[in-house]
Each structure stands twice: as C-alpha cells, then as structure tokens.
C-alpha cells in the first residue's frame, strides 16, 4: 500500500511498520480470518482496516485516539497472517505500533491502574498466585462487580493450586539424548503447575535433560502486546542474559504465547545493539510439541502406552501456536502417536477463543462472545477430552465449556502425553 510513513523519524520499529504497510495490497483476503470482523462485520475491525488506520495515524492524517478503539479490539491472534497471500507481517506491525503509540495515549486512572496491575502481576508468579487466591475468595461477589473485574474472576479455577517450585535441573532417564533449556512461564505456574511438571517428566522420559536457567523471567509478550515497550525490553534483555543458546539443543516453551514472544525477539530489537544476540536466541526457540515431534518423526520418541479406552480428543489450535509460530501438525502427530487416540478437528478451528493475552480484561464482551462460540464449536464434535497448547486458551475454554454445562476435561497436549506414559490415560 502506498504510504508516506516517516520512517526516518521512527527508527528501527518504523522500518518494520512501513515494510508491513508496503506489503499489503488491500486485497481483503484476510477479512474472513478475523474474529472481530466475524463478530462486527465492519472494515475498521478487520485486519485490512486496521492496517489502513495505522498507516493514517503514522502519516499524521488521523488522530491516534480516533483509531484506538478499533486497534484495541484486535486480539493479536494473527489469523490474518496465515490468511494473507502477500506475506504481510501484521503481527510485527501491530506490536510495533502499540509500542510506539502507548506513550501518546491518555488513559483513565482506572484503566491505568488496571494495566499497571496486569503488567506487574502477570510476570511475577508469586504476586500472581497471591492475586489469584484473593480473586478466588472474591468469586462469590462477582455478580456485584463491574464487567471489567468479573471477566477475570470467571476465568479463575475453582481452586487455585499452591505454587510449586521448579527444579533447576532435571536429569534424563536412561542415556542422555539431548539437553534443553526451559522457560517456565508466569501465570501458568500459578494456575496450572502440572503443565510444567508433566513437561519435565515427558522430556526426561525421552532421555532429554532439562535446565531451567536462573534469572529468566517473563517472555515479555504481555507487556509488548499492550504497548509497554520499555517494560518489555527489560524482560527481553533479562532473558537474553539468562539463556546461553550455544549451550543447548533448543530453548523450549510449553505456552504458545510465550514461545511466540521469544521468537519475536529479533523484531523487537530490530536496529538495536542486541539484534544479533536476539537472532541467535530465537533460532533455538521451539515449542515443546515441535521438539517432541522431531523425536517422533526420527523414530526416537519413547512409545506411549495405549489409552485404556478409545479416546476422541478435540484439538484446539492456539493462535500463537498455529498462526504466530505455524505449528499445527506437531501436536496432532503427538496425540495420534498414543494408541487409541483419535484427533477431532473443530469447526471454525482458526477462529480465536477470545482469550488472547489480556483481552478478557480489556474487551470482556467480545472475549465472552468468542469464548462461547469456541466452546460450542468444540463441544459440537462430542469429544472425550479437549487438548491445547496454551494456558490462556486453556482457562478460557475450560471456563466456557463449564458454563455450557459440560464436564469434558481440558488438558495441555503434554499432559495427555504424560498420562499416556504413565498408563493413566
């Protein structure tokens, strides 16, 4: 798309934004992929429309606050990236734009307090855990609270588990076949500690030793995608210091959002001194399912035990796995590697579940509509089990599936595999 974005004035992030706008030929092929377009049916809440809005703001043709409501409704799910025939890097554009625009926004005191709380709590498992427990006690009060607070409370599990420490080193069972570094994630540790426990067991079982480097922290995705660029840069640099990519076969994440965040580091640091380090780091980052699937494909995956009865597993593609990282086949292949498991495809599978980072907090109404639609679509396949590879999707889907009165369990792909290894599936 023709544009006059003042790249010089905007620096490295400006280059990224101008490149994305250039590449868009406004063909509209991305429209049917976009969840907000599916709900609202207007151009401003579509990927193409948002690209035009960002272009106009960057060119100085449109006040930021006029475009903001539509840009804020973007889930960052990147379904548009998968759909785009011209390879427009929309994800990089919106992230860079949010970073550029946030300092120029005037937000209400309430809004700012909410954002501050999110940005502080999410990356700090201890704080988050305490907050989550506090929230748990507030649950009965939910009907009396404003929607912005009700949304997150709804998502809390009935019982918030105790925080479990992660071992700095997990040896391999049997001869060592590989050595990986593992990012433990933030909110996930508080809400679903078993994801990490299962991950460590499965890796170890496969002869992989796992190091959890000290000094690692939040991947920075939440800060980055809400426009808190300075916060994000601190977190990014801390991780670059904590992980030494040359010491490991891979740097693994079991949360799609975090994995995608880690893979974004080179774009975040584009044009800055650490860019080369970020590249070396990102080149080693893999989702847990990608890594295990490589073992499966080379015939090296320890065979899981058969399920005790035939199991229909509905697999939900997390946006940050399928769209942002392009990982679709690997988790399905791992599930199918368990004898007795069939994988079900979900109708409208590419449509975001509405969880998307802090979306439940920022856009509770749209998030709720999408969550409901997702739960209906999943349940229409009448699954015995629902599997997914992302903590955000997990809590959202679980909450909406329960709301529809269904008891079907929701698990991380790796939990399913772990159960199979233990003969408990």
Partner 1 sequence: MKPEKQALTTTSRAPKPASAGGSHSALAAELTRLLGPRRVLSNLSERLNYRYDAIQFGATPLAVVLPESTQDVITAVRAARAAGVPIVGRGAASGLSGGAAPLEPGLVISFTRMTRLSIHPERREATAQAGVVTLAVSEAARPHGLIYPPDPASLRTSTIGGNLAENAGGPLCFKYGVSGDYVRALEFVDADGGVHHLTRDAFDLAGLLIGSEGTLGLITEATLRLIPPPRFTRTLMAHFPEVGACAEAVSRAIAAGAVPSKLEFMDRACTNAVEDYLHLGLPREAEAVLLVDTDGEDLDTVQDELRLVEAACLEAGGTVRRAATDEEGAALWRARRSVSPALGRIRPQRMNEDIVVPRSALPEVVREIRALGDASPFPVVQFGHIGDGNLHPNILFDPRREDPHAVHDLAHRIALVAIRHGGVLSGEHGIGSMKREFMTDAVDPETLGALRRVKRALDPHGALNPGKILPLEEAPHAHP
Residue 195 touches ligand SF4, criterion: CB under 6 A = no
Rounded least distance, CB 92 to ligand SF4, Å: 11
Alpha-carbon gap, residue 190 to 375, rounded angstroms: 24
Residues 110-149 that bind partner 1 (CB under 8 A): 147
Alpha-carbon gap, residue 403 to 400, rounded angstroms: 5
Window contacting partner 1 (CB under 8 A); options: 31-39, 115-123, 278-286, 410-418: 31-39
Rounded least distance, CB 32 to partner 1, Å: 5
Instruction: Decide which of partner 1, ligand SF4, none touches 363; Cβ closer than 5 to 8 Å per partner kind.
Output: partner 1
Which DSSP state fits 254?
S
- Beta strand pairing status for 385-388 and 341-344? unpaired
Rounded least distance, CB 314 to partner 1, Å: 20
Decide whether 63 or 310 has the Cβ nearer to partner 1: 63
Which one of residues 6, 11, 60, 87 is an interface residue with partner 1 (CB under 8 A)?
87
Alpha-carbon gap, residue 188 to 280, rounded angstroms: 26
Q: Radius of gyration of the chain from Cα atoms?
A: 21
Residue 41 touches partner 1, criterion: CB under 8 A = yes
CB contact at 8 A, 52 and 26 = yes
Instruction: Decide which of ligand SF4, partner 1, none touches 205; Cβ closer than 5 to 8 Å per partner kind.
Output: none
Decide whether 28 or 103 has the Cβ nearer to ligand SF4: 28
Instruction: Decide which of partner 1, ligand SF4, none touches 79; Cβ closer than 5 to 8 Å per partner kind.
Output: ligand SF4
Decide whether 27 or 276 has the Cβ nearer to ligand SF4: 27
Joined tokens for residue 287: 């989702």
Closest CA to 307 of 340, 333, 344: 340
Closest CA to 37 of 27, 23, 47, 29: 47
Residues 49-68 that bind ligand SF4 (CB under 6 A): 50-51
Residue 354 touches ligand SF4, criterion: CB under 6 A = no
Window contacting partner 1 (CB under 8 A); options: 54-62, 130-138, 166-174, 184-192: 54-62
Residue 80 touches ligand SF4, criterion: CB under 6 A = yes
Which one of residues 40, 138, 238, 240 is an interface residue with partner 1 (CB under 8 A)?
40
* 201: CB partners within 8 A, 6+ apart: 418, 421
Alpha-carbon gap, residue 371 to 346, rounded angstroms: 14
Instruction: Decide which of ligand SF4, partner 1, none touches 247; Cβ closer than 5 to 8 Å per partner kind.
Output: none
Indicate the SS3 state at residue 287: strand
- Beta strand pairing status for 208-211 and 169-170? antiparallel
Cross-strand bridge partners of residue 285: 251
Cα angle 173-176-182, degrees, rounded to a multiple of 5: 80
Residue 47 touches ligand SF4, criterion: CB under 6 A = yes
Rounded least distance, CB 375 to partner 1, Å: 14
CB contact at 8 A, 326 and 293 = no
Joined tokens for residue 138: 């507030």
Alpha-carbon gap, residue 197 to 189, rounded angstroms: 10
Site size toward partner 1, by CB under 8 A = 40
Decide whether 45 or 415 has the Cβ nearer to partner 1: 45
Rounded least distance, CB 173 to partner 1, Å: 39
Which DSSP state fits 29?
T
Site size toward ligand SF4, by CB under 6 A = 27
Alpha-carbon gap, residue 300 to 23, rounded angstroms: 42
Decide whether 155 or 419 has the Cβ nearer to partner 1: 155
User: Which residues are near ligand SF4 by CB under 6 A?
Assistant: 24-30, 33-36, 47-48, 50-51, 74-80, 83-84, 86, 88, 90
- Contact set with partner 1 (CB under 8 A): 2, 22-23, 25-29, 31-32, 38-44, 49, 52-53, 56, 61-63, 65-67, 69-70, 73, 85-87, 147, 363-366, 369, 373
């Amino acid at each position: 798309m023709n544009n006059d974005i003042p790249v010089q004035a905007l620096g490295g992030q400006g280059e990224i934004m101008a490149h994305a706008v250039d590449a868009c030929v406004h063909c509209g092929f991305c429209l049917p992929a976009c969840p907000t377009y599916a709900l609202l049916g207007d151009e401003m809440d579509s990927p193409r429309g948002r690209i035009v809005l960002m272009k106009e703001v960057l060119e100085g043709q449109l006040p930021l606050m006029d475009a903001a409501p539509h840009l804020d409704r973007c889930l960052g799910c990147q379904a548009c990236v998968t759909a785009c025939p011209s390879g427009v890097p929309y994800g990089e554009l919106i992230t860079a734009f949010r970073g550029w625009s946030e300092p120029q926004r005037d937000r209400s005191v309430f809004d700012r307090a909410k954002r501050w709380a999110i940005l502080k709590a999410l990356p700090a498992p201890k704080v988050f855990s305490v907050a989550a427990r506090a929230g748990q006690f507030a649950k009965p009060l939910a009907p009396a609270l404003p929607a912005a607070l009700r949304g997150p409370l709804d998502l809390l599990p009935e019982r918030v588990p105790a925080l479990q420490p992660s071992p700095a080193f997990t040896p391999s069972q049997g001869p060592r076949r590989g050595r990986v570094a593992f990012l433990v994630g933030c909110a996930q540790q508080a809400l679903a500690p078993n994801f990490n426990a299962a991950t460590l067991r499965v890796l170890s079982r496969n002869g992989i030793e796992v190091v959890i480097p000290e000094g690692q922290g939040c991947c920075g995705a939440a800060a980055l995608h809400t426009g808190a660029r300075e916060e994000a840069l601190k977190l990014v640099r801390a991780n670059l210091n904590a992980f030494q990519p040359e010491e490991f076969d891979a740097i693994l994440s079991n949360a799609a959002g975090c994995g995608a965040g880690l893979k974004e580091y080179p774009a975040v640091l584009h044009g800055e001194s650490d860019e080369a380090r970020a590249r070396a780091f990102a080149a080693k980052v893999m989702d847990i399912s990608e890594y295990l699937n490589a073992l499966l494909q080379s015939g090296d995956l320890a065979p899981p035990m058969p399920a005790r009865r035939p199991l229909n597993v509905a697999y939900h593609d997390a946006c940050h796995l399928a769209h942002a990282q392009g990982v679709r086949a690997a988790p399905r292949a791992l599930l199918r590697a368990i004898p007795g498991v069939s994988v079900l495809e979900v109708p409208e599978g590419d449509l975001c579940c509405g969880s998307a980072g802090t979306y439940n907090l920022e856009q509770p109404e749209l998030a709720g509509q999408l969550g409901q639609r997702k739960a209906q679509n999943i349940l229409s396949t009448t699954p015995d089990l629902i599997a997914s590879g992302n903590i955000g999707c997990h809590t959202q889907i679980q909450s909406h599936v329960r709301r529809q009165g269904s008891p079907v369990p929701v698990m991380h792909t790796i939990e399913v595999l772990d159960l199979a290894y233990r003969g408990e599936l």
